[in-house]
Amino acid sequence: MSIRNKVTLIGRTGKEVEIVNFENGKLAKVSLATSDYFTNAKGEKVEETQWHNLVAYGRTADIMEKYVEKGDEIAVTGKLTYRNYEDKEGMKRYFTEIRMDELVLLSPRKVS
């Protein structure tokens, strides 16, 4: 296992998992919020939240589709990836994503 380009995050999902189906499998996408806390110069506790775009394929995408809901706390490992595309107006758009390798569900399961 390589530690090059390795990302580990723990946070809460910001929306429902979005599934994109392809001929040879599926892609799962979701946003993840991670928060840090610090005390500012006035002695006030401040929360700073960062948002991350997560993508998963294969078995991890299946698990996300079945078990992950908006607001769930999850832990993920993966690698940082960058992609870009040209929009309808010809502007180049850039994305930074975490391509997930592993997923751990941390929120308690809801009983129906």
Residues, the chain: 112
Sequence spans of domains, the chain: 7-105
CA distance 11 to 98: 13
Give the residue from 11, 14, 70, 53 showing the smallest Cα distance to 35. 11
CA distance 4 to 16: 30
pLDDT tens-digit map of 3-37: 789 999 999 999 999 999 999 889 999 999 999 99
pLDDT tens-digit map of 44-67: 999 999 999 999 999 999 999 999
Neighbours of 1 (CB within 10 A): 5
pLDDT tens-digit map of 66-107: 999 999 999 999 999 999 999 999 999 999 999 999 999 998
Strand-pairing partners, residue 103, are: 76
How far is the CA of 98 from the CAs of 28, 34, 80, in angstroms? 12, 13, 5
Predicted structure pTM score: 0.84
7-105 — its CATH code? 2.40.50.140
Give the residue from 91, 103, 109, 87 showing the smallest Cα distance to 7. 103
